[in-house]
Amino acid sequence: MNAKEYVNKYKDELINDMMEIIEIKSVREEAKEGMPFGEGPTKALQKGLEIAERYGFKTVNLDNYVGYVEMGEGEDIIGILAHVDVVPEGEGWTSDPYKPEIRDGRLYGRGVADDKGPGIISLHAMRIVRDMGVKLNKRVRLVLGANEETGSACVRYYKAKEGGFQYGFSPDAEFPLIFGEKGGFGGNFSAPLSVDGAKTVIESIAGGVVSNMVCPDVTVYISGEGLEEIKAAFDGYKPHEEITTESSFTDCGKLKLYLKGKAAHASFPEQGVNAISYMIDFLKDHITDSPFVKAYSDLVGLCYYGEKCGAQCEDQYGVLTMNLGVISTENGVATVTVDCRVPITIDFKDQADQVVKNFENAGCTFNVNRLGSSLFIDPESDFIQALYGSYVKVTGDTENKPFTIGGGTYAKTFENVVAFGIEFPGENNQIHMPDENMHLESIYKCCEVFVEAIQRLLAL
């Protein structure tokens, strides 16, 4: 049988296995003994390895940080890097995100496309390559991490213990292939919400889910003078068609403002509607003595590309993007996360120092927690051409070419690893969004592509 026939033979098991692991809510939680990323990610990792063992694969669990599934022999290792943790489900689902279901030929659930589904698809691709009798002159290793969405400590743990790969791919992005990923600059900045003696006081502001998502909603509490006027103005605030607002007074007389925007991945902040930015845009015209509001308005505003704070830059592969993802308040000080995706060929270190100075000059404290390098592999290399050729052979698509992205994947942790799949051109799997899904036919086609890719990498 050929790969397509094997996929058809195993397709029911493939879908059932995907549904089984999706049922586990694997959002990062507080660490417990033996569970570095909490109970959910640990259970999902163990379930992934359990599924692999059903099909006779060797599995190894590295202290619940990361695990792997292996077949073949030899010194060289072909790596396939997927993850079992997910971002929080958020609001707006039309079905339970952890009770996967098939509707209109699509499988719905959190993790279907990012990245539990791709992990299980990769596992079945390995199974098919083995069952086809392909000579396994190298080891093929599916790595399942438990912490990609909140830092990727899992694969750094793997690398420290196991090393790298001759070649590898991460099915955690898009087809046909990604040969470059932007660098990263991130952290958070803080400033007081009010000054001593202010007649109108912002007591707290909170919103956002994770730093690598556009903030979907935000809530503010205000006390003091002029609250009726602020409420009336907020009720009439409609700067964007996708924004909704609500206002009310609490039992103790505080004004509560709620603004709902639209979530999106941090690498494409312009596709979302940042609730933090629009809330600040409103507040700047009604509360003029807030150091945080002024700094945010002056240095971020409604921009997506770092124009106001000195971060803006671009190269032939794209522009810097800037996302403000999570905001919180403690002891009257607001803190907001910053996630910048830096163009591939640009050394951002000096510019990053200047960005920090610009925030500090505006009265903020800026804490840098990330200044990461980019990824670039020659698109004409045998490695890239082997993967791209696999995609073309199965799909027949020669119009879409390998490209670069703003998002970061596991590929950055290793040499000779790139992102390859899982979203096909023209599709929208709602990754990081409500109703995440994948078409069943795309699942099967993806499995075929991976079968072909594994064979071609074995031959290099």
**Residues acting as catalytic residues:** 85, 148
How many other CB atoms are found less than 10 A from the CB of residue 73?
10
Question: b/e string for 182-206 if b means 16 or more Cβ within 10 A?
Answer: bbbbbbbbbbbbbeeebebbbebbe
Q: What are phi and psi of 106, to 5 degrees?
A: -125, 145
